[in-house]
Amino acid sequence: MSDFLFNHLLDDAHQCPIIVNGVACQVPEQLSVAAALLYLGHLANRQHPVSGELRGSYCHAGFCFECLVAIDGQANKRACLTQITPNMSINTALAGVN
């Protein structure tokens, strides 16, 4: 699942440390959590509670609620509406990851 499908436009962007599923990573600062997940290659961030199918962020504008993840221990936060902060801990809701 870890295809790097996105690029950052600025080469010299400052980096910000975050923790995704327990793994320390560096991403350019000023990303939303949903953007950071895409940047790191996580297209999917949760499993649908009914079908178990994988789902990923879709609208990035707060409308679709597909981007729900746990941020600093708080479950079901919309990743697209949250900006990353240094050492923020993000947990996707995928079986076998958490």
Query: What's the Cα-to-Cα distance from 73 to each of 17, 23, 58, 89, rounded to whole Å?
Result: 17, 15, 23, 8
60 touching ligand FES, by CB under 6 A: yes
Residues 63-92 that bind ligand FES (CB under 6 A): 63-67, 78, 80
| Shortest spacing between CB 11 and ligand FES, in angstroms | 27
In angstroms, the CA 81 to CA 89 distance is 16
In angstroms, the CA 70 to CA 75 distance is 4
Residues 13-42 that bind ligand FES (CB under 6 A): 34
Binding residue for another protein (CB under 8 A) from 55, 69, 90, 91? 55
Q: Which tokens sit at 77?
A: 């936060």
Site string for another protein, 57-76 (x = CB under 8 A): xxxxxxxxxx-x-------x
6 touching ligand FES, by CB under 6 A: no
* 74, amino acid identity: Q
